[in-house]
Chains A and B, each alone.
Chain A
Amino acid sequence: MDGEDDAPKSLMEEMYANGIEGVDDAPSSSTSTTIRKNRPIISGEQLDIEAYAALYSGRTKIMRLIFLADHCDNSGMQLEALRMAYDELKKGENTQLFREVVQKIDGRLGPNYSMDATWCAMVDRKADQRKDKLESELNAYRTNLIKESIRMGYNDFGDFYYAHGALGDAFKSYVRTRDYCTTSKHIIQMCLSAILVSIEMGQFAHVTSYVSKAEQTPEALDPPTIAKLRCAAGLAHLEAKKYKLAARKFLEVGPELGNSYSEVIAPQDVATYGGLCALASFDRTELKNKVIDNINFRNFLELVPEVRELINDFYSSHYASCLEYLGNLKSNLMLDIHIHDHVETLYDQIRSKALIQYTHPFVSVDMRMMADAFKTSVAGLEKELESLITDNQIQARIDSHNKILYARHADQRNATFQRVLQTGNEFDWDVRAMLLRANLLKHEYNLRASRKI
């Protein structure tokens, strides 16, 4: 007897509470208790810099570490990042960035991590020598007019400039190979290099154009390349704030990506960016079809279980825990070089969507319960709802006295009558004014005509 009474009550409570006690229901929502073999890297806890940096290679690793150092508050983390950047730079040939990093370290890491002028001089000298050699080779090839060699020559130049941080020159060199590309493989190679340099430069317009160029040569496209191109396209859309398109691109990335694009993006990033953009811009059907039921994307989501959980929570209307995950992720997302300036917008959009989805099925909603579900105060909730109503995203009215939100559907018939009368008046006014003006013009014209005659 008691069991029967309890069951419907607890069900009702759970329905209203929306996620506060709902944590027990979801199978693997609590990350703190479950022990995992691969600790998630982008998670609610503090970023593990070594693991984070291990995901990337090449120039982007250094840029990300520098960005981390610039933007995080924790000086321990800062120094760690700068140390790793220093080590990485020593393995390469970019003296400009090296000087920058040394300046940022400012001697805080001891004598081992100070300005190594001899190394810089040596690298620069080697660079000059190599450059001269490349130039003479290229001239030789150009006189010989062998297309393939000229292409290789320009390619080498591009690589050289890229390694030394002269991104503009690298881009120009890569683009020059275009005239000497014979097979579609060459074209793909050229496009990928151009895309890489453009992403590093931050010029995402070029990225989009080269992605489309590469996609137009279908013969040489193998699955990893397709995945790489999709990632690049997704990044370009993200930078352009086109979140829906970005989400679609990221969701289409296949598992063949693996770690092959570590010079640009890690699979964890694909999952995070794709998941957040999808949540902010898709409606429920699209979210279900493309994200939750998407087998390929599931592999990516396994790498960032918090994002997976928050998407599932959102879909099943457990808004409080969803927003809690979002809050935890925020600090780490702000340290990511591509998404940090979109975090606020995406979060706002996700929150608004949650609010709209919450109110959608109801005729009247008690704002106090809603405020509990969203973990805000009633006054704050009222303000948020007011802005959503003014933007016409929720059709409802607020009863401020009793703190209830009432759904309100516009009366079509009255609205039609009103519009009809208004249109009639406007027509009346416009036509009368027009006839008057026509008369004035005719008068003026007659005056002029009579003066001519």
Chain B
Amino acid sequence: MNTVEGLVNQIQGLSTTASDVLSLQNLLKQADDSLHAESTRLFPFLDQLDPSKHSLGYLYFLEACTAGPVTKEQAGSYVLMIARFITSCIAEQIRLAPDKFITVCKRFKDQVLLLEEPLRGVAPMLTAIRKLQSSSEHLTALHPEFLLLCLLSRCYKAGLSILEEDVFEVDQPRDLFLFCYYGGMISIGQKWFQKALELLHNVVTAPMSTVNAIAVEAFKKYILVSLIHHGQSPANLPKYASSVAQRNLKNLCQPYIELANSYSNGKIADIETYVEANKDKFESDNNLGLVKQAVSSMYKRNIQRLTQTYLTLSLQDIANRVQLNSPKEAEMHVLQMIKDGEIYATINQKDGMVRFLEDPEQYKTCEMIEHIDSSIQRLMTLSKKLNGVDELMSCDPLYLLKAGRERQRFDFDDFDNVPQRFNI
């Protein structure tokens, strides 16, 4: 009791200046075990601490409090407390103990799920991420948790703001896998297929030493989304994918590869029979909806091909060529595609004809020029960044060591030994 009270006093006292906070942190680290030992009795002390001023101390206490198993009633109160803490804490203080903060937030997520109200966790988690990140390019362990909550609460739009940022720094590869996988699922939900492809591609081609389940599931979705978006599945993983992935992923996703093959043959009847036959497998992976979308995208692809060869075509002919059942269905499909902006056409209902038009974009408008200009700017910044990383890498001693050993030797001087060890 005394130690705890003493600790509370010190927290209240030492939470003002930065140097004080550092010494406080040392104290707290030493006192951590004793806090954990008395975790059941810490609850009332939390009222004495103000989260907006004594964030670090509050964090330690909170972490110790929630360490044990939590019942549903307790969960409710904890959820409120943690949410309030997250919204009001000071970012610099909690960044001194990121692991604790992450643990607290994870427990928060668990409790929110226990209460079956994932929606309550979405906003606080977003704030938590913002406070924890050192920059917008930094991926923390909380990102995938946040996306999971968005998925479970079907609150996709909240996730989009996180997804729009580019991620360059990663703490743990596992975070990245989960983040990209969940991000891919959210993008699919929002029909943002290009982004989904990017994210899933990142999972599938990330360096990994052994195949993990996340990569396998991501690969399955990747095949389906690329069928929907591009009309063809990736034949082979690119060379920079890890050799483990290249060898094993295809074997583990056999039904999907077969689906992609029958898609490329272009016969709708074949692909539908295949889907019927393997319905259970797709359903058990929760991919049946995507599979159905892929099949319907086949019609779209066939109609798009027709725009390349025909200027006008009767609805009956369209129905025949695309293997639809009636001109009415063909009309529905074409209408939908015109609305979605996937083709440019006009339907003449009197003659039952569709007239395909050229893409009216003339690339002469102000908006287009702005678009091109901003793209150029973006790419130039990206290019500079790439150069920066390259320079950093060229100065890296380990790299120089390896490059030095393997360089070509043209002169006697080249046979000097490259220094084996750098003392830094």
Please give the residue numbers on chain A whose beta carbons come within 8 Å of chain B beta carbons, in ascending order.
386, 389-390, 397-402, 406, 411, 413-414, 417, 420-421, 424-425, 427-429, 431-441, 443-445, 449
Contact = CB atoms under 8 A, between A and B. Distances in A.
Interface of B: 166-171, 173, 176, 198, 201-202, 205-207, 240, 305, 308-314, 317, 351, 353, 356, 358-359, 361-363, 368, 371-372, 375-376, 378-379, 382-383, 385-386, 389, 393, 398
Nearest to B309: A389
Nearest to B173: A440
A429 B198 contact: yes
A444 B309 contact: no
A425 B385 CA distance: 17
B353 to A, nearest CB: 5
B150 to A, nearest CB: 21
A367 to B, nearest CB: 12
B207 to A, nearest CB: 5
B265 to A, nearest CB: 16
B240 A401 contact: no
Contact of A397 (B173, B310, B389): B310
A360 B169 CA distance: 57
B387 to A, nearest CB: 11
26 contacts: A386-B310, A389-B308, A390-B305, A397-B310, A398-B310, A399-B312, A400-B310, A400-B317, A401-B353, A411-B358, A414-B362, A421-B371, A421-B372, A424-B376, A427-B379, A428-B382, A431-B382, A432-B166, A432-B382, A433-B205, A434-B386, A436-B167, A436-B176, A437-B205, A440-B207, A444-B173
B203 to A, nearest CB: 11
Contact of B170 (A413, A414, A443): A443
Nearest to A435: B168
B311 A406 contact: yes
B173 A390 contact: no
A439 B375 contact: no
Nearest to A403: B312
A130 B376 CA distance: 87
B198 A414 contact: no
B308 A433 contact: no
B202 A433 contact: yes
Given A406-B311, A421-B375, A440 B170 contact: yes
A399 B311 contact: yes
**6 interchain residue pairs of minimum CB distance:** A417-B363, A397-B311, A401-B312, A399-B311, A389-B309, A400-B313
Nearest to A390: B309
Contacts of B382: 428, 431-432
A263 B312 CA distance: 58
Contacts of A429: 198
Which of A400, A421, A424, A432 neighbours the largest number of chain B CB atoms within 10 Å of its CB?
A400
A399 B398 CA distance: 66
B207 A397 contact: no
A417 B368 CA distance: 10
B311 A398 contact: yes
A421 B376 CA distance: 10
Contacts of B317: 400
Nearest to A425: B375
A435 B385 contact: yes
A322 to B, nearest CB: 26
Which of A424, A428, A435 neighbours the largest number of chain B CB atoms within 10 Å of its CB?
A435
A70 B226 CA distance: 52
Contacts of A399: 310-312
Given A414-B362, A443-B170, A397 B309 contact: yes
A389 B307 CA distance: 11
Nearest to A433: B202
Contact of A414 (B312, B361, B379, B386): B361
B309 A398 contact: yes
B310 A436 contact: no
Contacts of A427: 379
A12 to B, nearest CB: 26
Contacts of A406: 311
Nearest to A394: B309
B173 A443 contact: yes
A134 to B, nearest CB: 59
B231 to A, nearest CB: 15
B314 A400 contact: yes
A427 B380 CA distance: 11
A444 B242 CA distance: 13
Nearest to B385: A435
Contact of A435 (B176, B308, B372, B389): B389
Contacts of B389: 435, 438
A135 to B, nearest CB: 59
A443 B383 CA distance: 22
Given A397-B309, A398-B311, A417-B363, A444 B207 contact: yes
A7 B370 CA distance: 61
B170 A436 contact: yes
B198 A435 contact: no
Contact of B169 (A386, A401, A439): A439
A399 B309 CA distance: 9
Contacts of B398: 445, 449
Contact of A439 (B170, B351, B361): B170
A398 B306 CA distance: 10
A272 to B, nearest CB: 35
B38 to A, nearest CB: 35
Given A421-B372, A424-B375, A433-B198, A402 B173 contact: no
B170 to A, nearest CB: 6
A441 B173 CA distance: 9
B168 A439 contact: yes
Nearest to A404: B311
A201 B423 CA distance: 75
A414 B372 contact: no
Contacts of A402: 312
Given A400-B313, A427-B379, A438-B393, 13 more contacts: A390-B309, A399-B310, A400-B353, A401-B312, A414-B361, A428-B382, A434-B240, A435-B386, A436-B167, A437-B202, A437-B206, A437-B240, A444-B207
B357 to A, nearest CB: 11
B217 to A, nearest CB: 19
A444 to B, nearest CB: 6
A88 B408 CA distance: 73
B379 A428 contact: yes
B318 to A, nearest CB: 10
A424 B201 CA distance: 18
A401 B350 CA distance: 12
A391 to B, nearest CB: 10
A420 B386 CA distance: 21
A401 to B, nearest CB: 4
Nearest to B368: A417
A167 to B, nearest CB: 43
A402 B363 CA distance: 31
Which of A432, A436, A449 neighbours the largest number of chain B CB atoms within 10 Å of its CB?
A436
